[in-house]
Amino acid sequence: MHILRLDADFFVPFLLFSIPIVAIVGGITAGIVRTLGQQRLLEMAQRERMAAIERGIDPAKLPPMPIGGLGHDHDLASIYLNPHDYARRRSMNLMVGGVITLFVGVGVGAFLYLVDRPDNSWGVGLVPLAVGLGLLLSSWLVKPKDAEPPRTP
């Protein structure tokens, strides 16, 4: 009869393979829960607006629909933004992603360069570095060109 032992030969590979699986399942679950919560919030706000309009309240006097849903930048909330604000928000998101990716690339490249000098494996950091530069360039390209947002009467 074989008794299951929890030694390093069994536990380490099990742990190494379970971490990405838990991260992927957790990320998908968090995305689903966030989307459902945002949809519910938007649905409740629309019902509240319809009830107020049925009672004869002028829609212009009602507060604006919630943007940002659960406090984050959501695609569904961007339908209520004017084109200038939408372009500015998109530009800022690309800039943030670009800066983060740029510095991750520099960090990975420097780390690998210092760890394994003769092999020249520091080039791996060039991939995220290039992605970061691409995102920064995209941010600059989509940035609104006019200095002032359009004024609505």
Answer yes or no: pTM beyond 0.85: no
Cα separation of 35 and 29, whole Å? 10
Joined together, the tokens standing for residue 91 give 């530009």
Residues 6+ apart with CB under 8 A from 91: 139, 140, 142, 143, 144
Q: How many CB atoms lie within 10 A of CB 126?
A: 13
Cα separation of 18 and 64, whole Å? 45
pLDDT at 71: 46
Residues 6+ apart with CB under 8 A from 123: 109
Q: Is the pLDDT of residue 4 over 60?
A: no
Q: What is the DSSP letter of 116?
A: -
For residue range 19-44, list pLDDT tens digits in order: 888 889 999 999 999 889 888 888 88
C-alpha angle 132-137-142 in degrees, rounded to nearest 5 = 125
Q: What is the DSSP letter of 151?
A: P
User: What value does the mean pLDDT take over residues 96-105?
Assistant: 84
For residue range 63-99, list pLDDT tens digits in order: 777 655 444 445 555 666 777 887 888 888 888 888 8
For residue range 107-127, list pLDDT tens digits in order: 777 777 777 666 666 667 777
What are the structural domain ranges in the chain?
1-80, 81-153
Cα separation of 113 and 105, whole Å? 12
